[in-house]
Amino acid sequence: MINALRGMKDTLSPENEVYEYIIKTCTRIAQNYGFTLIETPILEETALFKRSVGESSDIVGKEMYQFTDKGGNDVCLRPEGTAGVVRAFIQQKYDKAGGTKRFFYHGPMFRYERPQKGRLRQFHQFGVESFGEADVREDATIILMLKAMFEALGIKYSLEINSLGCPACMPHYRSQLVRFLDSLEGLCEDCERRKLTNPIRVLDCKNEHCKMLLADAPLIVENLCVTCKEDFSTLKAILDQFDIQYSVNPKLVRGLDYYSKTAFEFVSSEIGAQSAIAGGGRYDRLVEFLEGKATPAIGFAMGIERLMDLVKMPEKTREGYYIGALCDEALPQVYTLVNSKRHEAKVLSSYEAKSLKNHLKIADKNDVKYCVCIGEDELSCGKIWIKDLESKEEKSIAIEEF
Residues making contact with ligand HAM (CB under 6 A): 80-82, 111, 113, 119-120, 123, 125, 127, 129, 255-256, 276-281, 299-303, 305-306
Nearer to ligand HAM, 7 or 320 (CB): 7
Side-chain-side CA neighbours of 265 within 13 Å: the count stands at 18
| 245 labelled ligand-binding | no
| 122 labelled ligand-binding | no
Q: Distance between CA atoms of 371 and 386, rounded to whole angstroms?
A: 6
Around Cβ 392, how many Cβ atoms within 10 Å?
Answer: 7
268 in Cβ contact with 155 (< 8 Å) = yes
| 370 labelled ligand-binding | no
Considering the complex, what minimum distance in angstroms separates the CB of residue 93 from ligand HAM? 21
Which residue's Cβ has the minimum distance to ligand HAM?
Answer: 303
What is the DSSP secondary structure assignment for residue 38, as one 8-state letter?
-
Considering the complex, what minimum distance in angstroms separates the CB of residue 250 from ligand HAM? 18
Considering the complex, what minimum distance in angstroms separates the CB of residue 17 from ligand HAM? 20
> Of all helices (H) and strands (E), which one includes residue 347?
strand 347-349
Residues 6 or more apart from 35 whose CB is under 8 A from it? 102, 103, 104, 128, 130
Nearer to ligand HAM, 165 or 299 (CB): 299
| 258 labelled ligand-binding | yes
Q: Distance between CA atoms of 128 and 300, rounded to whole angstroms?
A: 6
| 259 labelled ligand-binding | yes
Nearer to ligand HAM, 252 or 334 (CB): 252
Nearer to ligand HAM, 51 or 369 (CB): 51
Nearer to ligand HAM, 199 or 279 (CB): 279
Considering the complex, what minimum distance in angstroms separates the CB of residue 265 from ligand HAM? 7
Kindly report the backbone phi and psi dihedral angles of residue 43, in degrees, each rounded to the nearest multiple of 5, phi listed first.
-100, 130
Considering the complex, what minimum distance in angstroms separates the CB of residue 379 from ligand HAM? 55
Residue among 299, 276, 28 nearest 153 (CA): 28
Residue among 84, 402, 58 nearest 257 (CA): 58
Nearer to ligand HAM, 33 or 180 (CB): 33
Radius of gyration of the chain measured on its C-alpha atoms: 27
| 105 labelled ligand-binding | no
Q: Distance between CA atoms of 230 and 251, rounded to whole angstroms?
A: 19
Considering the complex, what minimum distance in angstroms separates the CB of residue 56 from ligand HAM? 14
Question: Which residue ranges are tagged as binding site?
Answer: 80-82, 111, 125, 129, 254, 258-259
Annotated binding site for L-histidine: 80-82, 111, 125, 129, 254, 258-259
